[in-house]
Amino acid sequence: MMTWTVPYLAETIILWMISILFGYLIFSVVRNFLTPRWKHPVCTAFSVLLLFSSANIVVYPEELTGTVGFFFCFILIIFLLFKNEWYLKLSAAISLFPVVVSINYITQDIGHLIWVYAFDRTPSSIVQTVLHTTTLALRLPIWYLLYRLVKHWLSYTVKLLLPRMWIVLDLVALTSFTGIITVIKNTGTAHSYTAYPACVACVFTTLGCCYLCTYMAKTVRSDMALETFQYQQSYYQELEQNQQTVRRLRHDMKNHLNIIGTFLRDNEIEQAKEYFQELNQEFASNLKVYCPNKIVNAVLNNKEQLALDSNIQCDFQIDLETSPKIDDIDLCSILGNTIDNAIEALRKVPETSKRALSLKARYTKGFFSYEITNAKANEVLVKNGRFLTDKTEKEAHGIGLRSVQTIVEKYGGDMDISYTNDTFTVTIMIQG
């Protein structure tokens, strides 16, 4: 009795350890895409168990129903456990499940082939136990490698890509999934190994999609950085022009004082005042310093000038003596996108006297608060919870608020949008 009990208990303990590690690796990979709905350790353990149950499927040659059924279970579990947008959840499920199928099929089938060809279908119980445990354990290093690669490539990708980009990647992953299911379905048991190349290709396709995500995200990030640089360049060019003006006026100061002195000596007080006011305007800088953060100054000066060119009155109340713990490019994107949207709406207000923009930004006690309110004339268009542009080219516009939303989510903040018949307000709160 003891001869059978010890191997059985050992196998059970080892299999449970492998199962827990396997489920945790799957959870860790998914967490690179998505944010868990609950962060309590008990909820994490429950998530690991559910993901292991759905990902530990047995994939047989010439079989389809069970695999497809588990696929829908996998999607339901992803939607239950994580709280991101639906398209991100769908992308995670469609991208990862073909990898699950491919790896499970190979590791399981290799054990079967060894059984058939090495032991002539008559291995002992201990050999069966070792063989089964070893082939299952092969999944751990493979998934750990995938986890490291996905973590490296998707570290900041998820929050930068737009929904339509994810949908394109979903189509690529769905093609891979359909392909591997079809290959396995049409592979006979006697030649099950012929599906291995397709399984490996499926895994590499998913990794390629992850790398493509990273490449597109870097492109988006580069565009944002370029926009920030342009703001700074414009700011410093204006600053240099002001410095040149000041240097020129200082050089001619003796002449200016002589002219003012002449007016005063001749008792021409009004002419002296007018000349002094003109001289004062020459000295006055067009640049405003709102806070110590040069990025914020550059963006606000640039946007205020755009607003003034459209007869828009601006009221900026900035209290950022300490910069919030937000990346400068992300902060620039929040300011730039929200102000651009406000200016675009205000240009459509027919009465220039009603074109008013109010902006408040503050960082205190570890909280960054931001509110921008603008008058509006057009009706706000909302579809499925998304704010739409009223421009003709809808695909090219209307993504500003979505970009801001992804940045706010990146820092775990909250964004609220409210509007009346005459006004539109965006409020943001980020801790950190």
SS3 for 94-159 is HHHHHHHHHHHHHHHHHHHHHHHHHHCCCCCHHHHHHHHHHHHHCHHHHHHHHHHHHHHHCCCCCC
C-alpha distance from residue 150 to each of 155, 211, 311, 387 (Å): 8, 8, 49, 32
Q: Are residues 411 and 297 in the same domain?
A: yes
Q: Are residues 174 and 292 in the same domain?
A: no
Q: Are 177 and 70 in contact (CB under 8 A)?
A: no
Helix (H) or strand (E) holding 382, with range, is strand 381-383
Distance CA 372, CA 339 (A): 8
Q: Are residues 211 and 302 in the same domain?
A: no
Strands 381-383 and 386-388: antiparallel
Q: What is the model's pLDDT at position 155? A: 60
Distance CA 307, CA 156 (A): 33
Angle between helices 2-33 and 125-137 (to 10 degrees): 10
**Domain housing 291:** 287-431
Whether residue 31 has pLDDT greater than 80: yes
How wide is the angle at C-alpha 376 spanned by C-alphas 373 and 380, nearest 5°?
100
Distance CA 359, CA 235 (A): 20
* Among candidate residues 305, 260, 296, 298, the one with its CA nearest the CA of residue 278: 260
Q: What is the model's pLDDT at position 398? A: 43
Q: Does residue 254 lie in a domain region? A: no
Instruction: Return the bridge partners of 382, or none.
Output: 387
Q: Does residue 266 lie in a domain region? A: no
- What is the band of 429 on the pLDDT scale with cuts at 50, 70, 90? very high
Distance CA 82, CA 225 (A): 30
Q: Does residue 278 lie in a domain region? A: no
Q: What is the model's pLDDT at position 385? A: 52
Query: 381-396, pLDDT tens digit by residue?
Result: 665 555 555 544 343 3
Q: Does residue 346 lie in a domain region? A: yes
Q: What is the model's pLDDT at position 426? A: 92
Distance CA 250, CA 294 (A): 26
Whether residue 1 has pLDDT greater than 50: no
Quote the distance between the C-alpha of residue 147 and its chain's center: 19
- Mean pLDDT on 198-212: 83
Q: Are residues 38 and 117 in the same domain?
A: yes
What three-state secondary structure class fits 285? coil
C-alpha distance from residue 417 to each of 280, 349, 404, 422, 427 (Å): 43, 20, 12, 14, 6
Q: Does residue 52 lie in a domain region? A: yes
Q: Are residues 344 and 220 in the same domain?
A: no
- What is the band of 287 on the pLDDT scale with cuts at 50, 70, 90? low
What are residue 323's phi and psi, to 5 degrees? Answer: -70, 135
Q: Are residues 390 and 314 in the same domain?
A: yes
Helix then strand then coil, % of the chain, to nearest 5: 70, 10, 20
Q: What is the model's pLDDT at position 127? A: 66
The whole model's pTM is what? 0.59
Q: Does residue 207 lie in a domain region? A: yes
Q: What is the model's pLDDT at position 2? A: 42
- Mean pLDDT on 296-315: 85
Q: Are residues 209 and 307 in the same domain?
A: no
Query: 81-106, pLDDT tens digit by residue?
Result: 888 778 888 888 888 888 888 888 88
Query: 220-247, pLDDT tens digit by residue?
Result: 767 666 666 666 666 555 555 555 655 5
**Higher-scoring residue by pLDDT: 328, 278:** 328
Mean pLDDT of the chain: 78
Whether residue 145 has pLDDT greater than 50: yes
Q: What is the model's pLDDT at position 241? A: 59
Q: Which of 208, 226, 244 is the last residue of a domain?
A: 226
Distance CA 67, CA 73 (A): 10
Q: What is the model's pLDDT at position 372? A: 93
What three-state secondary structure class fits 370? strand
Q: Are residues 168 and 299 in the same domain?
A: no
Q: Are residues 222 and 291 in the same domain?
A: no
Whether residue 137 has pLDDT greater than 50: yes
Q: Are residues 327 and 217 in the same domain?
A: no
- Mean pLDDT on 139-159: 78
Whether residue 294 has pLDDT greater than 80: no
Length of the chain, in residues: 432
Q: Are residues 185 and 45 in the same domain?
A: yes
- Fill in the amino acid letter for 113: L
Decide: residue 50, CB within 10 A, 0-12 exposed, 13-18 middle, 19+ buried.
buried
Q: What is the model's pLDDT at position 359? A: 93
User: Which CATH number goes with the domain that contains 390?
Assistant: 3.30.565.10
The token pair that represents 99 in the structure block: 């990898």
Helix then strand count (H, E) for the chain reads 13, 7
Number of compact structural domains in the chain: 2
Query: 165-177, pLDDT tens digit by residue?
Result: 777 777 888 888 8
* Among candidate residues 385, 392, 378, 382, the one with its CA nearest the CA of residue 423: 378
Distance CA 298, CA 288 (A): 9
The token pair that represents 22 in the structure block: 């396997």
Share of the chain above pLDDT 90, in %: 7
Distance CA 74, CA 182 (A): 19
Distance CA 404, CA 332 (A): 10
Q: What is the model's pLDDT at position 410? A: 79
Q: Does residue 257 lie in a domain region? A: no
Q: Are residues 38 and 133 in the same domain?
A: yes
What three-state secondary structure class fits 220? helix
Q: Are 11 and 133 in contact (CB under 8 A)?
A: yes
Q: Does residue 101 lie in a domain region? A: yes
Q: What is the model's pLDDT at position 370? A: 93
Distance CA 55, CA 207 (A): 18
Q: Which of 201, 226, 251 is the last residue of a domain?
A: 226
The token pair that represents 219 in the structure block: 């492109």
Q: Which of 185, 207, 226 is the last residue of a domain?
A: 226
Q: What is the model's pLDDT at position 159? A: 63
